[in-house]
């Protein structure tokens, strides 16, 4: 019997999320012969429609947007070499406080145990050695990202299949550089408004709290192209304005916090599969 290949599973909220924080590792590990599985939880129906029409504006059709974004997601997966795409198919919940949060079928309104049971079935089917998702705040407070975190951790508790579990993050040093580059291109990095939510944590972590730094420089072009595959959302994807070379310089290392490990691999580490191969 052939030995089962090592498997990476990334659990993301929307089409295009796979590219931003994990496009590099998905492409790198696929190229190294590791089986890659992407789980996308929502249909992305609260994204921009053709011509940049916004949710809630006349002419915005969530079903049509979702269909378009599925095609874009499939194109992104091809660019990154992702072996398997799994769609949970929940309705996009929109940003925190939007009416879509509580719409029937929205991901945010779905009971965690219900969605976790579906994800657990996928984990038992694919047997991932490494699972990647967001932290408790969904990195920046998006309800669907928070829900993806919740159902992933619940599914892991149900299955106990993964040897290593990671949350995506960004070093504060990189966030400062990112802000500088955005200002260079005439954009401002949005800052959380403490008056709206005093408990909202700062985005990213101090460099010394990051456990895992993975060099994905050699796959910067693929990561850029996977973002570009989500053309309908191009207005919201600032990175595409940089060009591949500048993008790779800024985004050539992907960073994570290791929150579960059975291998004893020492920290800090530069490989999600340290201790497994």
User: Is 191 a residue whose pLDDT tops 90?
Assistant: no
pLDDT at 192: 47
User: Is 164 a residue whose pLDDT tops 90?
Assistant: yes
Phi, psi at 187, each rounded to 5°: -115, 160
The rounded radius of gyration (Å) of the Cα atoms in the chain is 18
Strand 164-169 relative to strand 84-90: parallel, antiparallel, unpaired? unpaired
- By mean pLDDT, which of 83-87, 156-160, 180-184 is the weakest? 180-184
- To the nearest whole number, what is the mean pLDDT of the chain? 91
CA-based torsion, 183, 187, 193, 199: positive or negative: negative
Q: Which helix (H) or strand (E) holds 233?
A: none
If one compares 132 and 202, the residue with the highest pLDDT of the two is 132
User: Is 89 a residue whose pLDDT tops 50?
Assistant: yes
> Residue 167 — very low, low, confident or very high, per pLDDT cuts 50/70/90?
very high
pLDDT 10s digits, 25-45:
999 999 999 999 999 999 999
| Number of Cβ atoms within 10 Å of the Cβ of 244 | 16
Percentage above 90 pLDDT, the chain: 75
pLDDT 10s digits, 38-71:
999 999 999 999 888 999 899 999 999 999 999 9
Q: Return the bridge partners of 168, or none.
A: 256
pLDDT at 47: 93
Q: Evaluate if pTM is beyond 0.75.
A: yes
Q: Is 40 helix (H, G, I), strand (E, B) or coil?
A: strand
Mean pLDDT of 180-193: 64
User: Is 100 a residue whose pLDDT tops 90?
Assistant: yes
């Amino acid at each position: 019997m052939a030995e089962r290949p090592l498997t990476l599973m990334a659990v993301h909220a929307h089409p295009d999320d796979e590219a931003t924080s994990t496009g590099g590792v998905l492409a790198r590990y696929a190229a190294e012969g590791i089986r890659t599985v992407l789980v996308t939880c929502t249909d992305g129906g609260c994204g921009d429609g053709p011509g940049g029409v916004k949710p809630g504006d006349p002419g915005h059709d969530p079903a049509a947007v979702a269909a378009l974004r599925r095609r874009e997601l499939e194109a992104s997966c091809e660019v990154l070499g992702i072996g398997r795409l799994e769609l949970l198919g929940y309705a996009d919940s929109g940003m925190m406080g939007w009416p879509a949060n509580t719409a029937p079928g929205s991901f945010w309104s779905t009971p965690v145990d219900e969605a976790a049971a579906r994800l657990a079935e996928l984990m038992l089917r694919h047997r991932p050695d490494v699972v990647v998702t967001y932290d408790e705040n969904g990195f920046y407070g998006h309800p669907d990202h928070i829900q993806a975190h919740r159902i992933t951790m619940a599914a892991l508790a149900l299955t106990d299949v993964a040897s290593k579990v990671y949350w995506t993050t960004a070093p504060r040093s990189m966030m400062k550089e990112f802000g500088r580059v955005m200002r260079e291109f005439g954009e401002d990095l949005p800052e959380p408004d403490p008056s709206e939510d005093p408990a909202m944590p700062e985005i990213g972590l101090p460099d010394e709290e990051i456990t895992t730094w993975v060099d994905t420089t050699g796959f910067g072009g693929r990561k850029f192209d996977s973002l570009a595959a989500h053309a309908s959302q191009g207005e919201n994807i600032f990175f595409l304005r940089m060009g591949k070379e500048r993008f790779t310089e800024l985004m050539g290392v992907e960073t994570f916090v290791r929150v579960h490990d059975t291998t004893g691999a020492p920290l800090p580490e530069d490989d999600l599969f340290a201790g497994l191969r």
